[in-house]
Amino acid sequence: MREFLVYTSAGENANVRRWAKQAQRSYDIWVTNYSGKPGLHRDQADFYNERKGAKFPNFKWVLEQHREQIAAYKAIMIADDDIILSCADLDALFQLLVDKDAPVVVPAFSRLGKISHDTTAREWRSDYRHTNFAEVTCPIIRTDLLLDFMAIYDETKVQCHGLDWWYLSYWGDRVRDKIIMSDTHYCINPRDFSKKGGQREIDRHYSEAERQALWQALKTELNIRSFPKVISRRVAKPMPALVVQTPLFIVECVFAWCWDWLLPRLLGPVRRFAKSLLAKRA
């Protein structure tokens, strides 16, 4: 048993193989296979079970069955199964939590993938930042904090959408402005077009509008308070690291500009023209 744990509920879009490439790593990998395909990802996992459901409900079930084992880890990453992270970056993120005595550590997000919140996009000059927000995608959480939250977590209320606001609201001052976001050891959250069927797994079951409506109803019931996302402090990269990472940072910025701004403006007229042709034929 290693010092840390990466836990995921994994299906057919999973990138677990990347996390398991090195045998010499500081973390175990626990996979809950929700796909319905027996044995999927078993060979990449140190610990494995099969069960339908999202990652936090499935983690709660694992915790109830194996509490003593789970509680022995220093910190646990609860990760979306498709996140792209190397073994070296995972090791570095866990070590950052230990070195800085942080309650929570999260990787920043590359523009090659999806960015859900402006403050989580990786920055050029920053090595890491102190913040008050930890997105639910792949947080590394100190085990005592995680188990404390899981004691009050009700999977019938929130499975994913808004869960980050719930645990941050619950922890309060214990984590506020003490969360560390690494811009050196960042991740890629794959865009939907790269996934099987071209959509997220959750979108097969609930639309974005349905998730938003459910979340708004639950915020008041669970006394969950959202707040402005703030970066309270930045620590600059050493110059050698800045020089090495600059070319890739430029590439990802150009890609994001082309994909998010230029391409929609080019395709818009094409789509409208195609629709008008189809309307005339009809």
Q: In this structure, what CATH number is given to the domain that contains residue 171?
A: 3.90.550.10
Q: Are residues 147 and 173 in the same domain?
A: yes
Question: Taking the CB of residue 213, how many other CB atoms lie within 10 A of it?
Answer: 12
Q: Are residues 124 and 163 in the same domain?
A: yes
Q: How many CA atoms lie within 13 A of 103 on its CB side?
A: 22
Residue 61 domain boundaries: 4-237
41: amino acid identity, one letter: H
Distance set, CA 176 to CA 27, 50, 158 (Å): 26, 35, 22
Q: Are residues 258 and 175 in the same domain?
A: no
Q: Are residues 230 and 250 in the same domain?
A: no
Structure confidence at residue 272 (pLDDT): 73
Spans of the chain, pLDDT less than 50: 205, 282
Q: What confidence tens digit (pLDDT) does each residue in 238-255 have?
A: 999 999 999 999 999 999
Structure confidence at residue 199 (pLDDT): 53
Q: Are residues 179 and 245 in the same domain?
A: no
Q: What confidence tens digit (pLDDT) does each residue in 140-175 have?
A: 999 999 999 999 998 888 777 789 999 999 999 999
Q: Are residues 246 and 231 in the same domain?
A: no
156-171 burial, b if ≥16 CB within 10 A, otherwise e?
eebbbbbbbbbbbebb
Q: Are residues 116 and 251 in the same domain?
A: no
Structure confidence at residue 205 (pLDDT): 47
Last residue of a domain, one of 204, 220, 237: 237
Q: Are residues 126 and 188 in the same domain?
A: yes
Distance set, CA 61 to CA 20, 69, 72, 73, 156 (Å): 23, 13, 17, 17, 13
Note whether 162 and 149 are within 8 A (CB): no
Q: Are residues 161 and 279 in the same domain?
A: no
208: amino acid identity, one letter: E
Mean pLDDT, the chain, whole residue set: 91
Q: Are residues 68 and 163 in the same domain?
A: yes
Structure confidence at residue 62 (pLDDT): 98
Quote the number of domains for the chain. 2
Q: Are residues 47 and 133 in the same domain?
A: yes
Q: Are residues 217 and 95 in the same domain?
A: yes
Q: Which residues contact 92 (CB under 8 A, 6 or more apart)?
A: 182, 184, 185
